[in-house]
Amino acid sequence: MSKQNKNNKEKLVIFDTTLRDGEQSPGASMTKEEKVRIAKQLEKLQVDVLEAGFPAASEGDFEAVKAVASAVEDVTVCGLARALENDIVKAGEAINPANSGRIHTFIATSPIHMEMKLRMTPDQVVERAVWAVKRARDFTDNVEFSPEDAGRSDIDFLCRVIEAVIDAGATTINIPDTVGYNIPEQFGELFHQLLTRIPNSDKAIFSAHCHNDLGLATANSLAAVKAGARQVECTINGLGERAGNTALEEVVMAVRTRQDYFDVDTRINTREILATSRLVSNITGFMVQPNKAIVGANAFAHESGIHQDGVLKHRETYEIMRAQDVGWHDNKMVLGKHSGRSAFKARLKELGIELETEEALNDAFRRFKELADRKHEIYDEDLQALITDANNQRVENDYYRLVALEVGTGTGERPHAKVTLWINGQEQTAEAEGGGVVDATFKTIEKIVDSGASLELYSVSNVTNGTDSIGETTVRLEKGGRIVNGQGSDTDIVLASAKAYINALNKLVDEDEKAHPQAHL
Ligand code: KIV
Ligand code: ZN
């Protein structure tokens, strides 16, 4: 089933599930618009398949998958479905607008899941799996089947189910280590056994889907690839519930860097990795740790004198990858106060940022000029943050808008804030004190709106070095089981924080936004 790449390597299909398994991470829920933005970036990154959600989970998830399916062209859009009629129909309808669509259906095969969760016998599970694949084929020829908790399933039973679903028309067989229990050698051996023992295994692509509970998700996925897997399911930054999923950037760069070892390659445009990582972390509020492989702030920083000396003499003494190849660039000044509209537009183009309308370009340029008044040197990272903020703060339909913010603090003085909000057509002002100016700002906003939400997370990160850097802030609010993330950025982090808080409040009042889909799985 596998194809040859132009460099004579077999193709490794990259299946990104940031928008589905990644979103199941508590607190990482995304709006439809946010999913579309990430999906477009994943298309630029050139993933082969993107799993956009679980359409039967909620109306919001259904609409989000449909919107993603309509928004991208050069990537297969996948919808997840349990082996149930309604799930499969919803997934089929949601992926319908896609140029290329896939249904991913699953049922558990481990003794503990079959007995305790499904309360089904192994025979019933085989029968349901076969039915589900056939039903999914009514909507698309591209059907993936997963025996959930395969990592703890009996191998003879796995062989039986998989042979049956391939006969029923499954074109991809995904092997999930659902609870992150496997060890690389063992997981590789599982693939070897499945590929050699199942008589029709050559009729499907085998895929690895690993969770990171023991910190082994990438190692397990690579062991599977070495044993013959030709698809890896992964997420940006390893996002996912509990300890997360396999990190896309790690698998892709391991395979790319060790072409001497792997017989496969991907079509990923690695230069888009960092921008994708930043977008996902900004939208979800899940920060990347500084020492995270590939995308962490220190991933390419050489602190020790010995290393610096070596790298200066010959880069490869201590570097196995080039930082530029994954999207890092020197913090060079690209634009300044006097740069004109065409220079601005040209730089955005070089960064692969396309603004859809003239109005959006004008708005972005106005923001750029404002920023240039406050910040002497504007870097690529600033431009990316500025566009992200413009996307986050599309105010036309917002219920709450920030009109004015004033804060005060000093030695021996209680930090305080004064905020004016525009609420559905009327202005309201309040003042409050707090532990610090950010705390005072949030308390003042709450004094006005009285949302009843609880603050679950507040984080700030700087996009470049220096105290004049743009700070990107995330505010996570929870109310009645609904979790939303708000974002804001500015060189003034108090203002950025206020924007993020108000952005989160607007998402809470948006009745159309879905509840977190995790509850339905
Ligand atoms: O981890 C898992 O088992 C899953 C399945 C739905 C494939 O995410
Ligand atoms: Zn999973």
Give the tens place of pLDDT for each residue, 404-431: 999 999 999 999 999 999 998 899 999 9
How remote is the CA of residue 425 from the centroid of ligand 1, in Å? 46
Whole-angstrom distance, CA of residue 355 vs CA of residue 387: 9
Identify the weakest region by mean pLDDT among 25-34, 218-227, 421-430, 511-520: 511-520
Ligand 1: which of 61, 112, 143, 146 to mutate, judged by most atoms within 8 Å of the beta carbon?
Answer: 146
Write the DSSP string, 306-359. HHHHHHHH-GGGT-SS-GGGGT-------B-TT--HHHHHHHHHHTT---SSHH
What residue owns the CA closest to ligand 1's atom 3? 178
Residues by chain with Cβ below 5 Å of ion ligand 2:
21
* Range 179-195 average pLDDT: 98
Residue-wise pLDDT for 373-393, tens only, equals 888 788 888 888 888 888 776
Give the pLDDT of residue 178.
Answer: 97
Cα 129 to averaged position of ligand 1 atoms, centre (Å): 15
Instruction: Please give the pLDDT value at position 515.
Output: 46
- Distance of alpha carbon 52 from alpha carbon 61, whole angstroms: 9
Q: Report yes or no: 151 and 182 within 8 Å, Cβ to Cβ.
A: yes
**Residue ID of nearest Cα to ligand 1 atom 5:** 148
Does ligand 1 come within 6 angstroms of the Cβ of 212? no
| Ligand that comes closest to the CA of residue 175 | 1
Any atom of ligand 1 within 6 Å of the Cβ of 442: no
Q: Helices 184-197 and 217-226, interaxial angle, to 10°?
A: 30
Residue to mutate (ligand 1; options 84, 148, 158; most atoms within 8 A of CB): 148
pTM of the model: 0.86
Position 511 scores a pLDDT of 60
Which atom, in ligand 1's list, is nearest to the CA of 24? 8
Give the integer Cα–Cα distance in Å for 76 and 269. 16
**From atom 8 of ligand 1, which residue's Cα is the shortest distance away?**
21
SS3 content of the chain, % helix, strand, coil (to 5): 45, 20, 35
Lookup: tokens for 400 = 């709450």
pLDDT of residue 303: 59
Pocket flag, ligand 1, residue 176 (CB < 6 Å): yes
Say if CB 453 and CB 473 are below 8 A apart: no
Pairwise CA distance, residues 244 & 240, whole Å: 4
Task: Indicate the top mutation candidate among 18, 80, 209, 239 to test ligand 1's pocket, ranked by most ligand atoms within 8 A of CB.
Answer: 209
Integer Cα distance of 248 and 15 in angstroms: 9
Distance 240 CA to ligand 2 centre (A): 8
User: Does residue 391's CB lie within 6 angstroms of at least one atom of ligand 1?
Assistant: no
What stretches of 376-488 show up as alpha helix (H) in DSSP? 380-392, 437-449
* Residue 282: per-residue pLDDT: 87
